[in-house]
Amino acid sequence: MQIESIVCPEYVEAKLEAKHGVTYREARQALLSRPRIRFAENGRTEGEDVYACFGQTLGGRCLAVFFIYKPTSKTAIISAREMSERERKTYGRK
């Protein structure tokens, strides 16, 4: 999977900060930090599925970032949060 461009609508950016305490910058860092990526679910539009990214920010924060991967290599962030303990253990093993 080649991520060339990352977009995040303003309302999603506001939700990330208000609800999960994650900035757009941190979510972007996690996506670009050689993360573990797995398929999460089929998207509403064909070819635009939802994926989960497990990565780390430059500050060492472990995040789970959910995004839609578009055929044009664009990535649209839809949510991000701290990894759970279970996710952190799995991420650390691989």
The pTM score is 0.88
Nearest to 94 by CA among 39, 50, 41, 38: 38
Q: What is the pLDDT of residue 94?
A: 55
Does the pLDDT at position 73 exceed 80? no
90 falls in which pLDDT band (50, 70, 90)?
Answer: confident
Does the pLDDT at position 31 exceed 70? yes
Residues 6 or more apart whose Cβ sits within 8 Å of residue 46 = none
Q: What is the pLDDT of residue 11?
A: 93
Q: What is the pLDDT of residue 93?
A: 58
